């Protein structure tokens, strides 16, 4: 059992930035159009499909719901892989120029954590190239170096809610789960971090605010900034009005 907070483990989509509705969803739709498919995921439909994390896994889930697994050109895995590769190209294109900003408090918290010597890792279901495409325009060309580990995408076989990606990140950091705090936005993310034994702060968004976060240390609507604080949805934030290292250390010690 470790008693000192050593590292912060950040989810990406929905946590660092609201990438789902105006990023991933739009890229999926462009890939469908580009492939001559008449599928279109509106924001509400996409919210339901987010029940499954991972773009390829989400495509398969969609085909299953439609009863269309047998109707796409076989083999289905190859169809999904190539459609998803096109989606990733559209996503990278879309993210150029920092079109989707990081959420309030993200840059401040990352810089503060680095300044006090906390180690940082990314623990995400999306690909490393998508992480770079989101963060570099927002946080500068060197920002990937802020993270000692970028645990991403297909590096593990089972995506969130399975704990595998957290186990992988902990392995790479060579830290026990009890030395870390995770920051997540969704029930699948929380299930993953919790199953890996990592205490978790949840910062919700429009797609996740009504999900079940019983095992979270604290649930808030945003990390917040001085002068523009968070609202607490579940748990106790003490005297804090925005997330900083001292709040994370306090939650860690609970």
Binding of ligand XBP by 54 (CB under 6 A)? yes
- Residue number of the CB closest to ligand XBP reads 55
Residue from the set 18, 63, 124, 242 that interacts with ligand XBP by CB under 6 A: 124
154 is catalytic: no
Q: At which residue do the structure tokens 């459609």 appear?
A: 83
Residue placing its CB nearer to Mg ion in the complex, 11 or 107: 11
Residue placing its CB nearer to Mg ion in the complex, 88 or 250: 88
Residue from 58, 48, 18, 27 nearest 153 by CA: 58
CB 200 within 8 A of CB 194: yes
Residue from the set 5, 7, 8, 11 that interacts with Mg ion by CB under 5 A: 11
DSSP 71-125: TSSSPHHHHHHHHHHHHHHHHHHHHGGG-SPBPTTHHHHHHHHHHTT-EEEEEES
Question: How many whole angstroms from its chain centre is CA 12?
Answer: 3
Residue from the set 95, 113, 130, 248 that interacts with ligand XBP by CB under 6 A: 130
For residue 7, what is the DSSP state? E
11 is catalytic: yes
CB 20 within 8 A of CB 28: no
Residue placing its CB nearer to ligand XBP in the complex, 55 or 104: 55
Q: Considering the complex, what minimum distance in angstroms separates the CB of residue 14 from Mg ion?
A: 4
DSSP 176-198: -GGGEEEEE-SHHHHHHHHHTT-
Binding of Mg ion by 244 (CB under 5 A)? no
Q: Considering the complex, what minimum distance in angstroms separates the CB of residue 8 from ligand XBP?
A: 15
Number of residues in contact with ligand XBP under rule CB under 6 A = 16
Half-sphere exposure of 129 (CA within 13 A, CB side): 10
Binding to ligand XBP, residues 61-120 (CB under 6 A): none
Residue placing its CB nearer to ligand XBP in the complex, 163 or 229: 163
Binding of ligand XBP by 126 (CB under 6 A)? yes
CA–CA gap between residue 169 and residue 70 (Å, rounded)? 36
CA–CA gap between residue 40 and residue 94 (Å, rounded)? 17
Gyration radius of the chain's alpha carbons: 18
Binding of ligand XBP by 189 (CB under 6 A)? yes
Number of residues in contact with Mg ion under rule CB under 5 A = 6
Task: Write the binding mask 166 to 205 for Mg ion: x where contact by CB under 5 A, - elsewhere.
Answer: -------------------xx--x----------------
Q: State the residues that interact with Mg ion by CB under 5 A.
A: 11, 13-14, 185-186, 189
| Active site residue ranges | 11, 13
């Amino acid at each position: 059992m470790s008693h000192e907070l050593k590292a912060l483990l950040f989810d990406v989509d929905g946590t660092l930035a609201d990438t789902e509705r105006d990023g991933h969803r739009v890229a999926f739709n462009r890939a469908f159009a580009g492939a001559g498919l008449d599928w279109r995921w509106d924001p509400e439909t996409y919210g339901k499909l987010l029940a499954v994390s991972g773009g390829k896994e989400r495509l398969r889930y969609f085909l299953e719901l439609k009863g269309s697994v047998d109707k796409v050109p076989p083999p289905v895995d190859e169809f999904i892989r190539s459609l998803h590769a096109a989606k990733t190209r559209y996503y990278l294109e879309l993210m150029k120029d920092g079109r989707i900003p990081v959420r309030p408090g993200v840059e401040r918290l990352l810089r503060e954590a680095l300044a006090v010597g906390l180690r940082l890792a990314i623990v995400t279901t999306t690909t490393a190239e998508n992480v770079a495409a989101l963060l570099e325009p927002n946080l500068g060309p060197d920002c990937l170096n802020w993270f000692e580990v970028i645990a991403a995408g297909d590096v593990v076989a089972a995506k969130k809610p399975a704990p595998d990606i957290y186990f992988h990140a902990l392995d790479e950091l060579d830290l026990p789960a009890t030395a870390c705090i995770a920051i997540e936005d969704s029930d699948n993310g929380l299930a993953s971090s919790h199953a890996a034994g990592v205490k978790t702060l949840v910062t919700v968004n429009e797609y996740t605010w009504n999900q079940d976060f019983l095992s979270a240390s604290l649930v808030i609507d945003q990390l917040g900034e001085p002068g523009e604080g968070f609202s607490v949805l579940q748990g106790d934030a003490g005297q804090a009005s925005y997330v900083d290292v001292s709040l994370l250390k306090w939650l860690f010690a609970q």
